[in-house]
Chain A
Protein backbone atom coordinates (compact mmCIF):
# COMPACT_ATOMS: atom_id res chain seq x y z
CA UNK A 1 0.00 0.00 0.00
CA UNK A 2 2.73 2.47 0.92
CA UNK A 3 4.13 2.39 -2.63
CA UNK A 4 1.08 4.41 -3.67
CA UNK A 5 2.40 7.47 -1.82
CA UNK A 6 5.57 8.13 -3.83
CA UNK A 7 3.94 6.98 -7.06
CA UNK A 8 1.12 9.52 -6.62
CA UNK A 9 3.87 12.16 -6.92
CA UNK A 10 6.03 10.35 -9.46
CA UNK A 11 3.35 9.32 -11.98
CA UNK A 12 2.18 12.88 -12.79
CA UNK A 13 5.82 14.02 -13.03
CA UNK A 14 6.65 11.14 -15.37
CA UNK A 15 3.55 11.99 -17.36
CA UNK A 16 4.76 15.60 -17.65
CA UNK A 17 8.00 14.33 -19.14
CA UNK A 18 6.14 12.03 -21.51
CA UNK A 19 3.94 14.85 -22.81
CA UNK A 20 7.10 16.63 -23.91
CA UNK A 21 8.41 13.47 -25.55
CA UNK A 22 5.29 12.83 -27.63
CA UNK A 23 5.46 16.40 -28.91
CA UNK A 24 2.56 18.02 -30.72
CA UNK A 25 0.23 15.02 -30.75
CA UNK A 26 -2.93 16.28 -29.12
CA UNK A 27 -4.58 12.93 -28.51
CA UNK A 28 -1.48 11.36 -26.95
CA UNK A 29 -1.01 14.39 -24.70
CA UNK A 30 -4.60 14.26 -23.53
CA UNK A 31 -4.32 10.55 -22.87
CA UNK A 32 -1.18 11.00 -20.75
CA UNK A 33 -2.66 13.92 -18.81
CA UNK A 34 -5.86 11.99 -18.12
CA UNK A 35 -3.83 8.94 -17.10
CA UNK A 36 -1.61 10.92 -14.70
CA UNK A 37 -4.42 12.84 -13.03
CA UNK A 38 -6.70 9.79 -13.05
CA UNK A 39 -4.02 7.73 -11.33
CA UNK A 40 -3.77 10.34 -8.56
CA UNK A 41 -7.54 10.21 -8.07
CA UNK A 42 -7.56 6.42 -7.81
CA UNK A 43 -4.56 6.45 -5.46
CA UNK A 44 -6.23 9.12 -3.33
CA UNK A 45 -9.44 7.10 -2.97
CA UNK A 46 -7.49 3.94 -2.05
CA UNK A 47 -5.37 5.89 0.47
CA UNK A 48 -8.45 7.49 1.99
CA UNK A 49 -10.07 4.10 2.41
CA UNK A 50 -6.91 2.60 3.93
CA UNK A 51 -6.29 5.55 6.25
CA UNK A 52 -9.87 5.63 7.44
CA UNK A 53 -10.36 1.91 8.06
CA UNK A 54 -6.89 1.20 9.42
CA UNK A 55 -4.09 3.59 10.33
CA UNK A 56 -2.28 6.36 8.42
CA UNK A 57 -0.35 5.05 5.40
CA UNK A 58 3.34 5.87 5.70
CA UNK A 59 6.23 5.53 3.25
CA UNK A 60 9.89 6.12 4.15
CA UNK A 61 11.58 7.15 0.90
CA UNK A 62 14.64 5.18 -0.12
CA UNK A 63 14.19 2.85 2.85
CA UNK A 64 15.79 5.41 5.17
CA UNK A 65 13.85 5.14 8.38
CA UNK A 66 12.38 8.26 9.92
CA UNK A 67 13.63 10.73 10.98
CA UNK A 68 16.72 10.34 8.74
CA UNK A 69 14.93 10.13 5.39
CA UNK A 70 11.94 11.87 3.85
CA UNK A 71 8.59 10.60 5.07
CA UNK A 72 5.39 10.61 3.04
CA UNK A 73 2.23 10.11 5.04
CA UNK A 74 -1.47 9.98 4.23
CA UNK A 75 -3.51 10.31 7.38
CA UNK A 76 -7.26 10.88 7.22
CA UNK A 77 -6.97 14.66 6.86
CA UNK A 78 -4.41 14.52 4.02
CA UNK A 79 -6.28 11.74 2.24
CA UNK A 80 -9.61 13.61 2.38
CA UNK A 81 -8.16 16.80 0.92
CA UNK A 82 -6.18 14.82 -1.66
CA UNK A 83 -9.29 12.95 -2.81
CA UNK A 84 -11.39 16.10 -3.22
CA UNK A 85 -8.52 17.96 -4.90
CA UNK A 86 -7.78 15.19 -7.39
CA UNK A 87 -11.48 14.86 -8.27
CA UNK A 88 -11.41 18.58 -9.14
CA UNK A 89 -8.17 18.16 -11.09
CA UNK A 90 -9.88 15.53 -13.23
CA UNK A 91 -13.00 17.66 -13.78
CA UNK A 92 -11.01 20.77 -14.70
CA UNK A 93 -8.84 18.75 -17.09
CA UNK A 94 -12.01 17.61 -18.88
CA UNK A 95 -13.17 21.23 -19.04
CA UNK A 96 -9.79 22.36 -20.35
CA UNK A 97 -9.77 19.71 -23.06
CA UNK A 98 -13.13 21.02 -24.29
CA UNK A 99 -12.28 24.71 -23.98
CA UNK A 100 -8.71 24.95 -25.15
CA UNK A 101 -8.81 22.54 -28.10
CA UNK A 102 -5.60 22.85 -30.06
CA UNK A 103 -4.47 25.89 -28.03
CA UNK A 104 -3.46 23.40 -25.36
CA UNK A 105 -0.58 22.33 -27.62
CA UNK A 106 0.80 25.84 -28.04
CA UNK A 107 0.63 26.40 -24.31
CA UNK A 108 2.03 23.00 -23.34
CA UNK A 109 -0.96 22.99 -21.04
CA UNK A 110 -0.90 19.28 -20.20
CA UNK A 111 2.76 19.33 -19.17
CA UNK A 112 2.30 22.22 -16.78
CA UNK A 113 -0.94 20.80 -15.46
CA UNK A 114 0.74 17.51 -14.56
CA UNK A 115 3.61 19.28 -12.80
CA UNK A 116 1.08 21.32 -10.85
CA UNK A 117 -0.69 18.08 -9.90
CA UNK A 118 2.58 16.56 -8.66
CA UNK A 119 3.31 19.66 -6.58
CA UNK A 120 -0.13 19.63 -4.97
CA UNK A 121 0.12 15.91 -4.16
CA UNK A 122 3.60 16.30 -2.72
CA UNK A 123 2.59 19.24 -0.52
CA UNK A 124 -0.36 17.30 0.85
CA UNK A 125 1.39 14.00 1.49
CA UNK A 126 4.77 15.08 2.79
CA UNK A 127 5.79 14.53 6.39
CA UNK A 128 8.94 16.63 6.16
CA UNK A 129 9.15 20.40 6.54
CA UNK A 130 11.80 20.93 3.89
CA UNK A 131 10.05 18.58 1.50
CA UNK A 132 6.92 20.69 2.06
CA UNK A 133 8.92 23.68 0.83
CA UNK A 134 9.96 21.73 -2.27
CA UNK A 135 6.36 20.62 -2.87
CA UNK A 136 5.15 24.21 -2.62
CA UNK A 137 7.82 25.36 -5.05
CA UNK A 138 6.99 22.66 -7.62
CA UNK A 139 3.35 23.69 -7.39
CA UNK A 140 4.14 27.42 -7.55
CA UNK A 141 6.56 27.22 -10.45
CA UNK A 142 3.95 25.32 -12.47
CA UNK A 143 1.42 27.97 -11.48
CA UNK A 144 3.71 30.84 -12.57
CA UNK A 145 4.06 29.29 -15.98
CA UNK A 146 0.34 28.52 -16.24
CA UNK A 147 -0.50 32.14 -15.41
CA UNK A 148 1.61 33.34 -18.32
CA UNK A 149 0.28 30.98 -21.01
CA UNK A 150 -1.01 34.11 -22.70
CA UNK A 151 1.69 36.75 -22.60
CA UNK A 152 -0.23 40.00 -22.97
CA UNK A 153 0.61 43.04 -20.83
CA UNK A 154 -2.19 42.21 -18.36
CA UNK A 155 -1.00 38.69 -17.70
CA UNK A 156 2.61 39.77 -17.30
CA UNK A 157 1.72 42.46 -14.80
CA UNK A 158 -0.51 40.15 -12.77
CA UNK A 159 1.97 37.28 -12.83
CA UNK A 160 4.79 39.58 -11.82
CA UNK A 161 3.12 40.58 -8.56
CA UNK A 162 2.12 36.96 -7.95
CA UNK A 163 5.67 35.69 -8.45
CA UNK A 164 7.25 38.43 -6.35
CA UNK A 165 4.89 37.92 -3.42
CA UNK A 166 5.31 34.16 -3.52
CA UNK A 167 9.08 34.41 -3.81
CA UNK A 168 9.23 36.60 -0.73
CA UNK A 169 6.99 34.09 1.05
CA UNK A 170 9.33 31.29 -0.01
CA UNK A 171 12.30 33.20 1.40
CA UNK A 172 10.42 33.52 4.70
CA UNK A 173 9.74 29.80 4.53
CA UNK A 174 13.49 29.17 4.23
CA UNK A 175 14.09 31.43 7.22
CA UNK A 176 11.55 29.42 9.26
CA UNK A 177 13.26 26.23 8.14
CA UNK A 178 16.66 27.58 9.21
CA UNK A 179 15.40 28.68 12.64
CA UNK A 180 13.45 25.46 13.18
CA UNK A 181 16.45 23.36 12.28
CA UNK A 182 18.66 25.49 14.49
CA UNK A 183 16.29 24.99 17.42
CA UNK A 184 15.52 21.29 16.97
CA UNK A 185 18.00 19.69 14.54
CA UNK A 186 15.34 17.88 12.51
CA UNK A 187 12.97 18.49 9.61
CA UNK A 188 10.72 15.45 10.07
CA UNK A 189 7.32 16.77 11.14
CA UNK A 190 6.68 13.93 13.58
CA UNK A 191 10.05 14.34 15.27
CA UNK A 192 9.60 18.12 15.24
CA UNK A 193 6.32 17.64 17.08
CA UNK A 194 8.20 15.79 19.82
CA UNK A 195 11.26 18.03 20.01
CA UNK A 196 9.45 21.38 19.81
CA UNK A 197 7.76 20.53 23.12
CA UNK A 198 11.19 20.64 24.75
CA UNK A 199 12.11 23.98 23.19
CA UNK A 200 11.80 27.26 25.10
CA UNK A 201 8.12 28.38 24.76
CA UNK A 202 9.18 31.83 23.51
CA UNK A 203 11.16 30.29 20.64
CA UNK A 204 8.33 27.88 19.90
CA UNK A 205 5.74 30.66 19.74
CA UNK A 206 8.00 32.68 17.47
CA UNK A 207 8.38 29.75 15.07
CA UNK A 208 4.63 29.13 15.18
CA UNK A 209 3.83 32.73 14.29
CA UNK A 210 6.44 32.80 11.50
CA UNK A 211 4.93 29.64 10.00
CA UNK A 212 1.49 31.21 10.25
CA UNK A 213 2.76 34.22 8.28
CA UNK A 214 4.44 32.04 5.62
CA UNK A 215 1.43 29.83 5.03
CA UNK A 216 -0.89 32.80 5.58
CA UNK A 217 0.60 34.41 2.47
CA UNK A 218 0.01 31.21 0.47
CA UNK A 219 -3.50 30.82 1.88
CA UNK A 220 -4.36 34.52 1.37
CA UNK A 221 -5.18 35.36 4.99
CA UNK A 222 -5.85 38.92 6.14
CA UNK A 223 -3.70 41.05 5.88
CA UNK A 224 -1.60 39.02 3.41
CA UNK A 225 -4.21 38.37 0.72
CA UNK A 226 -3.78 41.33 -1.64
CA UNK A 227 -1.91 39.36 -4.32
CA UNK A 228 -4.76 36.92 -4.90
CA UNK A 229 -7.63 38.95 -6.42
CA UNK A 230 -5.00 40.74 -8.44
CA UNK A 231 -3.47 37.76 -10.20
CA UNK A 232 -6.07 35.00 -10.43
CA UNK A 233 -8.66 36.57 -12.76
CA UNK A 234 -6.32 37.19 -15.68
CA UNK A 235 -5.57 33.53 -16.41
CA UNK A 236 -7.73 31.35 -18.71
CA UNK A 237 -10.69 29.75 -16.95
CA UNK A 238 -9.37 26.20 -16.38
CA UNK A 239 -6.21 27.64 -14.82
CA UNK A 240 -8.09 30.03 -12.54
CA UNK A 241 -10.54 27.31 -11.53
CA UNK A 242 -7.85 24.90 -10.44
CA UNK A 243 -5.91 27.67 -8.65
CA UNK A 244 -9.05 28.81 -6.86
CA UNK A 245 -10.00 25.31 -5.80
CA UNK A 246 -6.60 24.01 -4.81
CA UNK A 247 -3.67 26.38 -4.31
CA UNK A 248 -4.89 28.48 -1.40
CA UNK A 249 -6.39 25.35 0.14
CA UNK A 250 -2.96 23.71 0.16
CA UNK A 251 -1.86 26.76 2.17
CA UNK A 252 -4.80 26.27 4.56
CA UNK A 253 -3.88 22.59 4.77
CA UNK A 254 -0.33 23.50 5.79
CA UNK A 255 -1.61 25.98 8.41
CA UNK A 256 -3.91 23.37 9.95
CA UNK A 257 -1.22 20.69 9.83
CA UNK A 258 1.53 22.78 11.43
CA UNK A 259 -0.62 24.58 13.99
CA UNK A 260 -2.21 21.37 15.28
CA UNK A 261 0.80 19.06 15.04
CA UNK A 262 3.75 21.30 15.88
CA UNK A 263 2.19 24.00 18.04
CA UNK A 264 -0.69 22.36 19.90
CA UNK A 265 -2.51 24.53 22.43
CA UNK A 266 -5.52 24.08 24.64
CA UNK A 267 -8.70 25.98 23.95
CA UNK A 268 -9.65 28.43 21.20
CA UNK A 269 -7.00 30.74 19.79
CA UNK A 270 -8.18 34.36 19.84
CA UNK A 271 -5.49 35.34 17.35
CA UNK A 272 -6.66 32.80 14.76
CA UNK A 273 -10.30 33.75 15.33
CA UNK A 274 -9.51 37.44 14.86
CA UNK A 275 -7.58 36.71 11.65
CA UNK A 276 -10.48 34.54 10.47
CA UNK A 277 -13.06 37.27 11.09
CA UNK A 278 -10.95 39.95 9.42
CA UNK A 279 -10.26 37.71 6.41
CA UNK A 280 -13.96 36.98 5.93
CA UNK A 281 -15.02 40.59 6.25
CA UNK A 282 -12.37 42.17 4.05
CA UNK A 283 -12.78 39.49 1.38
CA UNK A 284 -16.52 39.88 1.08
CA UNK A 285 -16.39 43.69 1.10
CA UNK A 286 -13.82 43.54 -1.69
CA UNK A 287 -16.10 41.23 -3.66
CA UNK A 288 -19.04 43.61 -3.41
CA UNK A 289 -17.03 46.44 -4.95
CA UNK A 290 -16.09 44.46 -8.07
CA UNK A 291 -17.72 44.48 -11.49
CA UNK A 292 -16.10 41.41 -13.02
CA UNK A 293 -17.33 37.84 -12.61
CA UNK A 294 -13.95 36.30 -11.90
CA UNK A 295 -12.77 39.17 -9.70
CA UNK A 296 -15.86 38.86 -7.50
CA UNK A 297 -15.19 35.16 -7.15
CA UNK A 298 -11.51 35.76 -6.41
CA UNK A 299 -12.35 38.02 -3.48
CA UNK A 300 -14.75 35.36 -2.26
CA UNK A 301 -11.86 32.88 -2.08
CA UNK A 302 -10.27 35.19 0.50
CA UNK A 303 -13.53 35.50 2.39
CA UNK A 304 -14.11 31.73 2.41
CA UNK A 305 -10.60 30.93 3.66
CA UNK A 306 -11.64 32.89 6.76
CA UNK A 307 -14.29 30.28 7.56
CA UNK A 308 -11.73 27.47 7.45
CA UNK A 309 -9.41 29.37 9.78
CA UNK A 310 -12.39 30.03 12.04
CA UNK A 311 -12.84 26.25 12.42
CA UNK A 312 -9.13 25.87 13.14
CA UNK A 313 -9.26 28.73 15.66
CA UNK A 314 -11.71 26.80 17.85
CA UNK A 315 -9.02 24.08 18.19
CA UNK A 316 -11.64 21.53 19.20
CA UNK A 317 -12.65 18.30 17.49
CA UNK A 318 -15.98 19.73 16.35
CA UNK A 319 -14.37 22.96 15.17
CA UNK A 320 -11.66 21.24 13.14
CA UNK A 321 -14.20 18.77 11.76
CA UNK A 322 -16.26 21.74 10.57
CA UNK A 323 -13.14 23.29 9.01
CA UNK A 324 -12.37 20.06 7.11
CA UNK A 325 -15.99 19.78 5.97
CA UNK A 326 -15.80 23.41 4.87
CA UNK A 327 -12.65 22.68 2.84
CA UNK A 328 -14.36 19.75 1.10
CA UNK A 329 -17.36 21.92 0.26
CA UNK A 330 -15.31 24.91 -0.75
CA UNK A 331 -12.88 23.13 -3.08
CA UNK A 332 -15.80 21.71 -5.07
CA UNK A 333 -18.03 24.79 -5.09
CA UNK A 334 -15.31 27.32 -5.83
CA UNK A 335 -13.92 25.29 -8.73
CA UNK A 336 -17.45 24.95 -10.07
CA UNK A 337 -18.17 28.67 -9.82
CA UNK A 338 -15.07 29.57 -11.78
CA UNK A 339 -16.00 27.02 -14.44
CA UNK A 340 -19.44 28.66 -14.69
CA UNK A 341 -17.62 32.00 -14.96
CA UNK A 342 -15.80 30.54 -17.96
CA UNK A 343 -19.10 29.46 -19.52
CA UNK A 344 -20.48 32.99 -19.08
CA UNK A 345 -17.36 34.49 -20.67
CA UNK A 346 -17.69 32.09 -23.58
CA UNK A 347 -21.35 33.07 -24.10
CA UNK A 348 -21.13 36.81 -23.51
CA UNK A 349 -17.59 37.38 -24.71
CA UNK A 350 -16.86 39.12 -21.39
CA UNK A 351 -17.04 38.54 -17.68
CA UNK A 352 -17.80 42.22 -16.98
CA UNK A 353 -21.17 42.37 -15.24
CA UNK A 354 -22.35 45.63 -16.80
CA UNK A 355 -21.97 44.19 -20.29
CA UNK A 356 -23.77 40.89 -19.83
CA UNK A 357 -27.42 40.18 -19.22
CA UNK A 358 -30.32 37.97 -20.19
CA UNK A 359 -28.33 34.76 -20.24
CA UNK A 360 -31.23 33.02 -18.48
CA UNK A 361 -33.30 33.31 -21.67
CA UNK A 362 -30.53 32.44 -24.06
CA UNK A 363 -28.80 29.63 -22.19
CA UNK A 364 -30.89 28.49 -19.22
CA UNK A 365 -28.47 25.59 -18.61
CA UNK A 366 -25.70 27.99 -17.53
CA UNK A 367 -28.06 29.68 -15.09
CA UNK A 368 -29.14 26.30 -13.76
CA UNK A 369 -25.49 25.39 -13.10
CA UNK A 370 -24.75 28.72 -11.43
CA UNK A 371 -27.67 28.81 -9.03
CA UNK A 372 -26.94 25.79 -6.76
CA UNK A 373 -23.25 26.74 -6.56
CA UNK A 374 -23.99 30.37 -5.69
CA UNK A 375 -26.56 29.44 -3.04
CA UNK A 376 -24.16 26.87 -1.65
CA UNK A 377 -21.37 29.47 -1.40
CA UNK A 378 -23.65 31.76 0.58
CA UNK A 379 -24.70 28.90 2.85
CA UNK A 380 -28.38 28.65 1.91
CA UNK A 381 -29.96 25.32 2.94
CA UNK A 382 -30.07 22.57 1.75
CA UNK A 383 -26.80 23.00 -0.16
CA UNK A 384 -23.32 21.92 0.98
CA UNK A 385 -22.28 25.36 2.25
CA UNK A 386 -25.13 25.30 4.74
CA UNK A 387 -24.01 21.97 6.17
CA UNK A 388 -20.46 23.24 6.69
CA UNK A 389 -21.47 26.65 8.05
CA UNK A 390 -24.01 25.30 10.52
CA UNK A 391 -21.33 23.01 11.95
CA UNK A 392 -19.00 26.00 12.40
CA UNK A 393 -21.68 28.16 13.98
CA UNK A 394 -22.87 25.44 16.35
CA UNK A 395 -19.34 24.99 17.64
CA UNK A 396 -18.87 28.77 17.93
CA UNK A 397 -22.03 29.03 20.02
CA UNK A 398 -21.05 26.00 22.12
CA UNK A 399 -17.69 27.61 22.94
CA UNK A 400 -19.30 30.97 23.66
CA UNK A 401 -17.49 32.80 20.87
CA UNK A 402 -20.39 35.07 19.91
CA UNK A 403 -18.37 37.72 18.06
CA UNK A 404 -16.96 35.42 15.39
CA UNK A 405 -20.36 33.75 14.96
CA UNK A 406 -22.00 37.13 14.37
CA UNK A 407 -19.29 38.14 11.88
CA UNK A 408 -19.59 34.86 9.96
CA UNK A 409 -23.38 35.22 9.71
CA UNK A 410 -23.12 38.80 8.49
CA UNK A 411 -20.52 37.78 5.91
CA UNK A 412 -22.85 35.02 4.68
CA UNK A 413 -25.56 37.61 4.00
CA UNK A 414 -23.10 39.80 2.12
CA UNK A 415 -21.97 36.74 0.12
CA UNK A 416 -25.57 36.12 -0.84
CA UNK A 417 -25.87 39.78 -1.81
CA UNK A 418 -22.89 39.65 -4.16
CA UNK A 419 -24.18 36.40 -5.68
CA UNK A 420 -27.53 38.07 -6.39
CA UNK A 421 -25.58 40.92 -7.98
CA UNK A 422 -23.99 38.44 -10.40
CA UNK A 423 -27.35 36.78 -10.97
CA UNK A 424 -29.18 40.04 -11.68
CA UNK A 425 -26.53 41.41 -14.02
CA UNK A 426 -25.68 38.21 -15.90
CA UNK A 427 -28.80 36.11 -16.05
CA UNK A 428 -31.69 38.57 -15.79
CA UNK A 429 -32.40 41.54 -17.99
CA UNK A 430 -32.62 42.01 -21.73
CA UNK A 431 -30.79 39.28 -23.67
CA UNK A 432 -27.64 40.66 -25.30
CA UNK A 433 -26.38 39.36 -28.60
CA UNK A 434 -24.48 36.10 -28.37
CA UNK A 435 -20.70 36.24 -28.61
CA UNK A 436 -20.27 32.50 -29.01
CA UNK A 437 -21.37 29.28 -27.48
CA UNK A 438 -19.88 27.29 -24.63
CA UNK A 439 -18.89 23.86 -25.90
CA UNK A 440 -20.76 20.78 -24.75
CA UNK A 441 -17.72 19.30 -23.01
CA UNK A 442 -17.31 22.45 -20.91
CA UNK A 443 -20.93 22.28 -19.80
CA UNK A 444 -20.67 18.55 -19.05
CA UNK A 445 -17.54 19.04 -16.91
CA UNK A 446 -19.17 21.90 -15.01
CA UNK A 447 -22.31 19.83 -14.50
CA UNK A 448 -20.20 17.05 -12.97
CA UNK A 449 -18.77 19.48 -10.46
CA UNK A 450 -22.28 20.75 -9.63
CA UNK A 451 -23.44 17.18 -9.06
CA UNK A 452 -20.44 16.59 -6.78
CA UNK A 453 -21.30 19.70 -4.76
CA UNK A 454 -24.87 18.41 -4.38
CA UNK A 455 -23.42 15.05 -3.36
CA UNK A 456 -21.47 16.76 -0.55
CA UNK A 457 -24.80 18.03 0.79
CA UNK A 458 -26.56 14.67 0.40
CA UNK A 459 -23.66 12.76 1.98
CA UNK A 460 -23.34 15.29 4.81
CA UNK A 461 -23.83 12.66 7.51
CA UNK A 462 -21.02 10.24 6.50
CA UNK A 463 -18.75 13.17 5.56
CA UNK A 464 -19.26 14.76 8.97
CA UNK A 465 -18.37 11.43 10.56
CA UNK A 466 -15.23 11.20 8.44
CA UNK A 467 -14.19 14.81 9.19
CA UNK A 468 -14.76 14.26 12.88
CA UNK A 469 -12.48 11.22 12.87
CA UNK A 470 -9.87 13.20 10.90
CA UNK A 471 -10.15 16.11 13.34
CA UNK A 472 -9.72 13.80 16.32
CA UNK A 473 -6.52 12.48 14.71
CA UNK A 474 -5.28 16.04 14.21
CA UNK A 475 -5.74 16.96 17.86
CA UNK A 476 -4.31 13.68 19.16
CA UNK A 477 -0.79 14.21 17.81
CA UNK A 478 0.27 10.78 19.14
CA UNK A 479 -1.53 9.16 16.20
CA UNK A 480 0.63 10.98 13.67
CA UNK A 481 3.84 10.67 15.65
CA UNK A 482 3.55 6.94 16.29
CA UNK A 483 2.57 6.29 12.66
CA UNK A 484 5.82 7.90 11.46
CA UNK A 485 8.29 7.09 14.22
CA UNK A 486 6.85 3.76 15.28
CA UNK A 487 5.63 2.93 18.77
CA UNK A 488 8.13 4.65 21.03
Chain B
Protein backbone atom coordinates (compact mmCIF):
# COMPACT_ATOMS: atom_id res chain seq x y z
CA UNK B 1 0.00 0.00 0.00
CA UNK B 2 1.25 3.47 -0.76
CA UNK B 3 2.13 5.58 2.24
CA UNK B 4 0.33 8.66 0.88
CA UNK B 5 -2.83 6.64 0.35
CA UNK B 6 -2.66 5.29 3.89
CA UNK B 7 -2.09 8.80 5.23
CA UNK B 8 -5.13 10.12 3.38
CA UNK B 9 -7.26 7.21 4.59
CA UNK B 10 -6.26 7.78 8.21
CA UNK B 11 -6.99 11.52 7.87
CA UNK B 12 -10.44 10.68 6.50
CA UNK B 13 -11.03 8.32 9.44
CA UNK B 14 -9.89 10.90 11.98
CA UNK B 15 -12.04 13.68 10.54
CA UNK B 16 -14.98 11.30 10.17
CA UNK B 17 -14.70 10.07 13.75
CA UNK B 18 -14.68 13.67 15.01
CA UNK B 19 -17.79 14.53 13.01
CA UNK B 20 -19.70 11.38 13.99
CA UNK B 21 -19.29 12.35 17.64
CA UNK B 22 -21.04 15.69 17.08
CA UNK B 23 -24.63 16.29 18.12
CA UNK B 24 -25.83 17.67 14.79
CA UNK B 25 -27.25 14.99 12.52
CA UNK B 26 -25.98 16.67 9.36
CA UNK B 27 -22.42 16.55 10.69
CA UNK B 28 -22.84 12.92 11.73
CA UNK B 29 -23.87 12.04 8.20
CA UNK B 30 -20.94 13.90 6.63
CA UNK B 31 -18.66 12.12 9.11
CA UNK B 32 -20.04 8.75 8.09
CA UNK B 33 -19.42 9.66 4.46
CA UNK B 34 -15.78 10.47 5.25
CA UNK B 35 -15.28 7.21 7.15
CA UNK B 36 -16.76 5.21 4.28
CA UNK B 37 -14.49 7.02 1.81
CA UNK B 38 -11.51 6.10 3.95
CA UNK B 39 -12.57 2.45 3.95
CA UNK B 40 -13.16 2.46 0.19
CA UNK B 41 -9.76 4.03 -0.39
CA UNK B 42 -8.14 1.23 1.62
CA UNK B 43 -9.80 -1.35 -0.62
CA UNK B 44 -8.48 0.35 -3.73
CA UNK B 45 -5.01 0.42 -2.18
CA UNK B 46 -5.11 -3.21 -1.01
CA UNK B 47 -3.66 -4.98 -4.10
CA UNK B 48 -0.47 -2.90 -4.03
CA UNK B 49 1.14 -1.01 -6.89
CA UNK B 50 -0.93 0.20 -9.84
CA UNK B 51 -0.39 -1.52 -13.19
CA UNK B 52 -1.68 -1.60 -16.73
CA UNK B 53 -5.46 -1.63 -17.37
CA UNK B 54 -6.76 -5.15 -16.73
CA UNK B 55 -7.55 -5.93 -20.37
CA UNK B 56 -5.73 -9.01 -21.62
CA UNK B 57 -5.37 -8.33 -25.34
CA UNK B 58 -2.42 -9.64 -27.31
CA UNK B 59 1.04 -9.12 -25.93
CA UNK B 60 0.11 -7.85 -22.47
CA UNK B 61 2.03 -9.46 -19.64
CA UNK B 62 -0.55 -10.61 -17.01
CA UNK B 63 1.92 -9.80 -14.24
CA UNK B 64 2.02 -6.12 -15.23
CA UNK B 65 -1.76 -5.72 -15.07
CA UNK B 66 -3.35 -4.24 -11.96
CA UNK B 67 -5.72 -6.43 -9.96
CA UNK B 68 -9.32 -5.69 -11.10
CA UNK B 69 -10.97 -7.53 -8.21
CA UNK B 70 -10.73 -4.78 -5.55
CA UNK B 71 -12.14 -2.30 -8.05
CA UNK B 72 -15.21 -4.46 -8.48
CA UNK B 73 -15.52 -4.71 -4.70
CA UNK B 74 -15.12 -1.00 -4.14
CA UNK B 75 -17.82 -0.22 -6.71
CA UNK B 76 -20.25 -2.41 -4.79
CA UNK B 77 -19.20 -0.82 -1.52
CA UNK B 78 -19.62 2.72 -2.90
CA UNK B 79 -23.12 1.95 -4.18
CA UNK B 80 -24.16 0.48 -0.82
CA UNK B 81 -22.76 3.44 1.12
CA UNK B 82 -24.47 5.82 -1.27
CA UNK B 83 -27.83 4.14 -0.74
CA UNK B 84 -27.56 4.10 3.04
CA UNK B 85 -26.39 7.73 3.12
CA UNK B 86 -29.41 8.77 1.05
CA UNK B 87 -31.64 6.91 3.51
CA UNK B 88 -29.94 8.63 6.46
CA UNK B 89 -30.46 12.03 4.86
CA UNK B 90 -34.16 11.28 4.45
CA UNK B 91 -34.28 10.19 8.09
CA UNK B 92 -32.51 13.36 9.19
CA UNK B 93 -34.96 15.47 7.20
CA UNK B 94 -37.88 13.66 8.81
CA UNK B 95 -36.35 14.19 12.22
CA UNK B 96 -35.89 17.89 11.45
CA UNK B 97 -39.51 18.23 10.31
CA UNK B 98 -40.77 16.49 13.46
CA UNK B 99 -38.63 18.18 16.08
CA UNK B 100 -37.62 21.41 14.36
CA UNK B 101 -33.98 20.86 15.22
CA UNK B 102 -31.03 19.05 13.74
CA UNK B 103 -29.78 17.76 17.08
CA UNK B 104 -29.85 14.13 18.20
CA UNK B 105 -32.48 13.75 20.90
CA UNK B 106 -32.11 12.13 24.29
CA UNK B 107 -33.40 8.64 24.86
CA UNK B 108 -36.63 8.83 26.86
CA UNK B 109 -36.01 5.64 28.84
CA UNK B 110 -32.48 6.79 29.73
CA UNK B 111 -33.97 9.99 31.06
CA UNK B 112 -36.54 8.01 33.03
CA UNK B 113 -33.89 5.87 34.70
CA UNK B 114 -31.72 8.90 35.33
CA UNK B 115 -34.82 10.56 36.77
CA UNK B 116 -35.39 7.77 39.26
CA UNK B 117 -32.04 8.50 40.78
CA UNK B 118 -32.47 12.26 40.60
CA UNK B 119 -36.11 12.24 41.68
CA UNK B 120 -37.61 14.35 38.95
CA UNK B 121 -41.17 13.74 37.92
CA UNK B 122 -40.91 11.14 35.19
CA UNK B 123 -44.60 10.70 34.57
CA UNK B 124 -44.54 12.95 31.48
CA UNK B 125 -41.63 11.02 30.06
CA UNK B 126 -43.48 7.79 30.75
CA UNK B 127 -46.50 9.07 28.85
CA UNK B 128 -44.34 9.82 25.86
CA UNK B 129 -42.69 6.43 26.11
CA UNK B 130 -46.10 4.85 26.26
CA UNK B 131 -47.11 6.58 23.04
CA UNK B 132 -43.87 5.69 21.34
CA UNK B 133 -43.75 2.01 22.11
CA UNK B 134 -47.31 1.09 21.27
Contact = CB atoms under 8 A, between A and B. Distances in A.
A420 interface: no
A163 interface: yes
B129 A164 contact: no
Given A181-B46, A295-B109, A350 B130 contact: yes
B46 A168 contact: no
A477 interface: no
B73 interface: yes
B39 A175 contact: yes
A151 B92 CA distance: 12
Interface in B68-85: 69-70, 73, 76-77, 80-81, 83-84
Interface in B87-109: 87-88, 91-92, 94-95, 98-99, 104-105, 107-109
Majority SS at the chain B contact face: helix
Given A163-B91, A174-B42, A175-B39, A181 B47 contact: yes
B1 A182 contact: yes
B42 A178 contact: yes
Interface in B29-73: 32, 35-36, 38-40, 42-43, 45-48, 67, 69-70, 73
Contacts of B134: 345, 349-350
Contacts of A163: 84, 87-88, 91
A159 B87 CA distance: 11
Nearest to B95: A156
B84 A177 contact: no
Contacts of A155: 132
Interface in A259-306: 289-292, 294-295
Interface string B3-21: 0000000000000000010
A174 B98 contact: no
B129 A153 contact: no
A168 B32 contact: yes
Contact of A175 (B42, B94, B113): B42
A159 B90 CA distance: 12
Nearest to A235: B133
Contact of B76 (A130, A153, A185, A290): A130
Contacts of B130: 350, 352, 355
Nearest to B110: A230
B18 to A, nearest CB: 13
Contacts of B36: 167, 170-171, 174
B39 A171 contact: yes
B107 A157 contact: yes
Interface in A117-176: 130, 133-134, 137, 141, 144-145, 148, 151-161, 163-164, 167-168, 170-172, 174-175
25 contacts: A130-B73, A134-B80, A151-B94, A152-B132, A154-B108, A157-B95, A158-B107, A160-B104, A164-B20, A164-B28, A164-B32, A167-B35, A172-B39, A174-B40, A182-B45, A182-B47, A182-B48, A185-B67, A187-B73, A230-B107, A234-B133, A290-B109, A351-B133, A352-B126, A355-B130
The 7 closest A-B pairs by CB, nearest first: A154-B132, A174-B39, A178-B42, A182-B46, A178-B43, A178-B46, A171-B39
Given A171-B35, A178-B43, 6 more contacts: A144-B87, A154-B128, A156-B95, A167-B81, A175-B42, A349-B134
Interface of B: 1, 20, 25, 28, 32, 35-36, 38-40, 42-43, 45-48, 67, 69-70, 73, 76-77, 80-81, 83-84, 87-88, 91-92, 94-95, 98-99, 104-105, 107-109, 112-113, 126, 128-134
